[in-house]
Chains A and B, each alone.
Chain A
Amino acid sequence: MQLTRRDAILMGAGAALTVALPLRAFAAKGDEAIAAFTGGAEVGEGDIKLTAPEIAENGNTVPIEVSSGSAVEIMVLAMGNPTPAVATFKFGPLAASRSASTRIRLAGTQDVVAIAKLEDGSFVKSASTVKVTIGGCGG
């Protein structure tokens, strides 16, 4: 087989530079959004569950799920995205299941945060780091 420089190659190891490093620049905007949601109230741990993959199979569409037995509202944030606020789900007193699932786009490796406002007016939080990676070297 003749191999020359003209054996043209399209793509190599990865797509975008932007996926590689944890994004911290937008975290302040996320903190502001949280403060607006909670009115500055203290955020504890408790009745809020966030399910997200450890490593995203596709950073453009990452499935996440939030649930809580006693939430009236759950806010979801992607702390490293240019616009951190993803969605706020509201549940009425007759809601059969206070859970929601959606898919979100992540600009890179970052924390996904869910904050729930509970029936008693308190706020609880759950966070999960989702890694967005080039991948490619599994054993």
Chain B
Amino acid sequence: MISRRDFLQTSMAASAILGASGFGQWGRLAAQQALTQDQLLEFDTFGNVSLIHITDIHAQLKPIYFREPSLNLGVGMNKGKVPHITGADFRKMYGINDGSYAHYALSSGDFAALAQGFGRVGGLDRVATVINQIRSDRPDALLLDGGDTWHGSYTCYHTEGQDMVDVMNALKPDAMTFHWEFTLGSERVQEIVEGLPFAALGQNIFDAEWDEPAELFPPYKFFERGGVKIAVIGQAFPYMPIANPGWMFPEYSFGIRDENMQEMVDQVRAEGAELVVCLSHNGFDVDKKMASIVKGIDVILSGHTHDALPEPVLVGETIIVASGSNGKFVSRVDLDVRDGRMMGFRHKLIPILSDVITPDADVAAVIDQVRAPYEDTLAEVIGHSDSLLYRRGNFNGTWDDLICDALLSEREADIALSPGVRWGPSILPGQDITREDLWNVTSMSYGEAYRNEMTGEFLHVVLEDVADNIFNPDPYYQQGGDMVRTGGLGYRIDISKPQGERITDMTLLKTGEKIDASKTYQVAGWASVNEGTEGPMIWDVVEAHIRKQGTVTATGNDSVEVVGI
């Protein structure tokens, strides 16, 4: 008799083989410039349940360019494990040919050249086509949105998320969980959630005053699909009031709350759940640890850290699926559920190559409609770039360098700090920068660009604090995101050291002098979590800077020395 574990591992291997051959084919097809939508979506329907996962869209309604990171360091038990493998090593691990579509979509390296050939990615009208295709194979497939949906663009900011709500409603999701949504403020979140035609889930969303589950967000919802009783449990981003301004949603408390997650799993199993799915915004390493502690979750659909993995990762008997960001990917997970348990799975991470996938006309019309009042403003060219502008990576990206330069010059500062977020599409060398492009990398409800005096000692504390949120060896103490970006300041970081000892050799770049702990520096930054932060909006600061430059150049930044890898 084959045990459940054997079965999982057998089908894991089968899936890996399927995945690998799929990727190899893409490589050959790409070389022939002959990839079709049917080939991209080809999937041999399996089992009796299908899950469709999309996450971290960050309000990207239209196709964009999005460069994956070349540096994504893992620490502790996750050192050298996916998703902390990038570029050529990543391609080698998954059998992806250099120069293929899969190389372009999933990994870094030769990005600008491949982008010229393979075009933009994403676009929710293309995502709609993929979802419809899966639903034509399996009409009762579950569509699950991992959150970070109502944030990240000009139109999302000006409609307070309504553009995304309208477009997502047209896709007909079954459930959703949350992160940046809360930065719309709790009143607006409540207004939207009360009108949602699908479940808004979060077992870890609590009332802050009473430390009891928040009524607006049920922990789970049951679905009956393919004759299988499925429980979907939501897990919102655990560190919302820490990583984002808690004063914008003071009624709510979060946290990982894995004891409560275990209680919920036990409860839904007792109520007859044959399949338990966790729709998570924990981040990948946190999900891995949670899967090792909480027993009885079959599938974790993982969001927050924006990782795109061509195969699920198996922890115990739980599979973890990571589906990228910015509308660039959709994951399809087919499951065979029999006798009250998951017996096997088949999985495909589908890159949304916008030139290959035909837009769905209905959803395209909704997108056009929500954008129509803003089209002229969105399309206005504010400058030109002769460099690749991108953000993802543990330390500085060229978009961040440009933002830091803008802060230094427009705000007359010695040092600039820019948050290490992972959202924000890329700009190719030679491309115009429109107002839409600029908002795509800066839009948020707390975009004030402050200017402040900080001592060298305080700056060190800030860098140490942020570094520990990324490089603490225990994933439960990590908040996701990347290191705060610095302008005008160089430093050395040893990621293997404990907090307080990682950051050394802080240098003021304009003079080459070491930062003096007791000396005061003028520091400009944005996205402060503190209430009452004042200053012009970051998009206005950066627009003014780009307009003065005309053509911007951002060739890279070697002022951070990283050791202890």
Contacts from A to B (Cβ < 8 Å)? 1, 3-5, 7-15, 17, 19-22, 51, 53-58, 63, 101, 109, 129, 131, 133-139
Contact = CB atoms under 8 A, between A and B. Distances in A.
B243 interface: yes
B384 interface: no
20 contacts: A7-B451, A9-B452, A11-B452, A11-B528, A13-B454, A13-B528, A20-B461, A51-B259, A54-B256, A57-B246, A109-B499, A131-B468, A133-B469, A136-B243, A137-B466, A138-B179, A138-B237, A138-B240, A138-B243, A139-B482
Given A7-B536, A15-B530, A57-B254, A138 B239 contact: yes
Contacts of A17: 457-458, 461
B122 interface: no
Contacts of A10: 450, 452, 532-534
- Where chain A touches its partner, the secondary structure class is loop
Nearest to B465: A134
Contacts of A15: 530
Given A7-B536, A20-B464, A139-B482, A12 B528 contact: yes
B351 interface: no
Nearest to B532: A10
Interface stretch (B14-22, B213-221, B315-323, B420-428): B420-428
A7 B536 CA distance: 8
Contacts of A138: 179, 237, 239-240, 242-244, 421, 479-481
A135 B535 contact: no
B469 A21 contact: no
B477 A22 contact: no
A139 B421 contact: yes
Interface pairs A-B: 5 shortest CB-CB: A138-B243, A12-B452, A139-B481, A135-B242, A139-B422
B544 A55 contact: no
A13 B535 CA distance: 13
Contacts, number: 161
B256 A3 contact: no
A55 B530 contact: no
B83 interface: no
B476 interface: yes
B500 A137 contact: no
A127 to B, nearest CB: 14
B94 to A, nearest CB: 23
A129 to B, nearest CB: 8
Contacts of A133: 242, 465, 468-469
Contacts of B523: 12-13
Interface in B453-488: 454, 457-458, 461-462, 464-466, 468-469, 472, 474, 476-477, 479-482, 484
Interface in B524-558: 525, 527-530, 532-536, 540-541, 544
Contact of B304 (A13, A58, A139): A139
Contacts of A1: 536, 540, 544
A54 B476 contact: yes
Interface string B99-134: 000000000000000000000000000000000000
Given A135-B239, A136-B528, A139-B421, A21 B499 contact: yes
A20 B417 CA distance: 18
Given A133-B469, A134-B462, A13 B477 contact: no
Nearest to A3: B410
Given A9-B451, A135-B242, A137-B479, A3 B411 contact: yes
B255 interface: yes
Contacts of A21: 461, 464, 499-500
A57 B476 CA distance: 14
Contacts of A63: 211, 253
Which of B462, B481, B541 neighbours the largest number of chain A CB atoms within 10 Å of its CB?
B462
B489 to A, nearest CB: 13
B161 interface: no
Interface in B72-114: none
Contacts of B466: 134, 136-137
Interface string B299-314: 0000011100000000
Nearest to B483: A137
Which of A9, A58, A133 neighbours the largest number of chain B CB atoms within 10 Å of its CB?
A9
Interface string B236-278: 0111111110100000011110010000000000000000000
A109 B469 CA distance: 13
B383 interface: no
Given A20-B465, A63-B211, A57 B482 contact: no
B42 interface: no
A131 B478 CA distance: 10
B147 to A, nearest CB: 12
Contacts of A139: 243, 283, 304-306, 420-423, 480-482
Given A10-B532, A55-B239, A58-B246, 6 more contacts: A1-B536, A11-B450, A13-B528, A51-B259, A131-B472, A139-B422
Contact of B255 (A5, A54, A136): A54
A78 to B, nearest CB: 18
Contacts of A135: 239, 242-243, 465, 469, 479, 529
Nearest to B419: A137
Given A1-B544, A11-B533, A135-B243, A55 B451 contact: no
B255 A57 contact: yes
Contacts of B527: 136-137
A111 B211 CA distance: 21
B412 interface: yes
A58 B451 CA distance: 25
Which of B464, B472, B479, B523 neighbours the largest number of chain A CB atoms within 10 Å of its CB?
B479
Given A3-B536, A12-B452, A57-B254, A136 B529 contact: yes
Nearest to B472: A131
B462 A14 contact: yes
Which of A19, A101, A133, A138 neighbours the largest number of chain B CB atoms within 10 Å of its CB?
A138
Nearest to A18: B461
Contacts of A7: 411, 451, 534-536
Which of A7, A63, A135, A139 neighbours the largest number of chain B CB atoms within 10 Å of its CB?
A139
Contact of B500 (A22, A56, A129): A22
B481 A137 contact: yes
Nearest to B476: A54
Contacts of A137: 243, 419-421, 466, 469, 479, 481-482, 484, 527
